[in-house]
Amino acid sequence: MKKEALLYDKLPHGEVQCRTCQRRCTIAKRAAGWCLTRVNEGGTLYTRIYGEVSSLSINPIEKKPVFHFYPGSRWLSLGSWGCNFRCPGCQNWDIAHWKGEDFEKGSYLAPEDQVDMALRHGCLGLSWTFNEPTIWFEYTLDTAKLAKKKGLYTNYVTNGFITEEALDLLAPYLDVYRVDIKGFSNTTYKKIAHITEFRSILKVAEKAKDYGIHVEVVTNIIPGFNDDDIQLRSIASWIKKSLGPDTPWHVTRFYPHLKLSHVEETPIATLEHARKIGINNGLRYVYLGNVPGHDGENTYCYNCGALLIKRYVFDVVENKIRKGRCPECGVTIAGRF
Ligand code: SF4
């Protein structure tokens, strides 16, 4: 459904500037922005994807991955079309690399229907995921407001390229900000995401933290792109210093895909090494992802080493945390349990 965009400026000669994501596209009359989801019609900017759902499923929150926010809870997960990145190894390229085609009839889901669906199926919250939720901003904001009224939590699974002003509007209604940090250099971000400056992504994540939103970080480790010690150490140090040592960091395995089909899958030893770097740099919770059955899926007490949550892939096999504390030494475990 087409709807007027919330964050944009009108410029001379009928142009508009979108302020939804950090590309801040200047869009000429009858043209679309970089993501193709926003179009300038007669000097008014419209989103084309309001309520247009490409994917919908109910998953445990571990699938996002989010490990410290009501482990084992069920969430309604939804995505739309398009993205403000074009990652060459994108797993969801069939929806994220959308080229602006028309939608199938019946793909529209009103905000109130999304909320009702989540409640009917006993979900704890809504995750906007699969493609970048920022470009679905107006819809996720409307739905988040409604979700809060009905007692649901909300989760953005994001590449973090949202503008600060968009986050300012969303933050009062957002509970979880699961952000990708794809590397720690402009060169890496240029290769993976086709952007020239990545530090603004860090700044917005810090702002989300300042708002009191629960933040977890994911780095999909791609051999030859972001698996060097310098970048891994830098990510870990930034998380500790700017988001806090209790912030979970998920280092996940890359599988060859799309334009990166020639790249090998991440060796498990590389992921274990990254985890060690995270822990040695003061992070309390560093997890391995996409390695079923690995010990790095579990949560251990940072203080006494007791096993707190045993996981298998996306399932919580056992959760020993009691009232947010380790049952062995009593230390508080960060998050919501
Ligand atoms: S949301 Fe789309 S149109 Fe707006 S700035 Fe980002 S890429 Fe450009």
Q: CA distances (Å), 318 to each of 119, 304, 307, in order?
A: 25, 18, 10
Nearest CA owner, ligand 1 atom 4:
18
Please state the domain extents for the chain.
Answer: 3-47, 55-319
| Å from CA of 247 to ligand 1 middle | 29
Atom of ligand 1 nearest to the CA of 8: 4
pLDDT at 96: 92
Whether 50 lines ligand 1, by a CB cut-off of 6 Å, is: no
How many other CB atoms sit within 10 Å of the CB of residue 224? 10
- pTM given for the model: 0.97
What residues have CB less than 8 Å from 227, skipping those under 6 apart?
221, 266, 270, 274
| Cβ-based burial of 56 (10 A; exposed 0-12, middle 13-18, buried ≥19) | middle
Pairing of strands 153-158, 125-128: parallel
For residue 47, give the H/E element and its range. strand 44-47
- Which of the listed residues 7, 11, 16, 34 should we mutate to test ligand 1's pocket, taking the one with most ligand atoms within 8 A of CB? 34
pLDDT of residue 267: 98
Please, are residues 42 and 14 in contact by the beta-carbon 8 Å criterion? yes
Q: Does any ligand 1 atom lie closer than 6 A to the CB of residue 33?
A: yes
Q: Which fold has domain 55-319?
A: TIM Barrel (3.20.20)
Find the helix packing angle between 137-149 and 111-120, rounded to 10°: 50
Q: Is 7 in the pocket of ligand 1 (CB under 6 A)?
A: no
Using CA atoms, how far apart are residues 198 and 167, in angstroms rounded to an integer? 17
Task: Choose the residue to mutate in 8, 11, 23 for probing ligand 1, maximizing ligand atoms within 8 Å of C-beta.
Answer: 23
pLDDT at 324 (0 to 100): 97
- Tokens 């445990």 correspond to 60
Judge if the beta carbon of residue 163 lies within 6 A of ligand 1. no
Q: What is the DSSP letter of 57?
A: E
Q: What is the mean pLDDT of each run of 10 residues along the chain (337 residues)?
A: 97 97 97 97 97 96 97 97 94 90 84 98 98 98 98 98 98 98 97 93 98 98 97 98 98 94 96 98 98 97 98 96 97 98
Q: Is 38 in the pocket of ligand 1 (CB under 6 A)?
A: yes
- 9 with 16: CB under 8 angstroms? yes
Which pair of tokens denotes residue 48?
A: 């084309």
Q: Is 34 in the pocket of ligand 1 (CB under 6 A)?
A: yes
Please give the distance, rounded to the nearest whole angstrom, from the Cα atom of residue 26 to the centre of ligand 1: 9
Q: State which of 9, 27, 35, 195 you would mutate to test the pocket of ligand 1, scoring each by most atoms of that ligand within 8 A of its C-beta.
A: 35
The reply to whether ligand 1 has any atom less than 6 angstroms from the CB of 35 is yes
- Would the CB of 82 count as within 6 Å of ligand 1? no
Which alpha helices (DSSP H) does the chain contain, by range? 93-96, 111-120, 137-149, 164-170, 186-193, 199-210, 229-238, 268-280
* Residue recorded with tokens 């968009």: 166
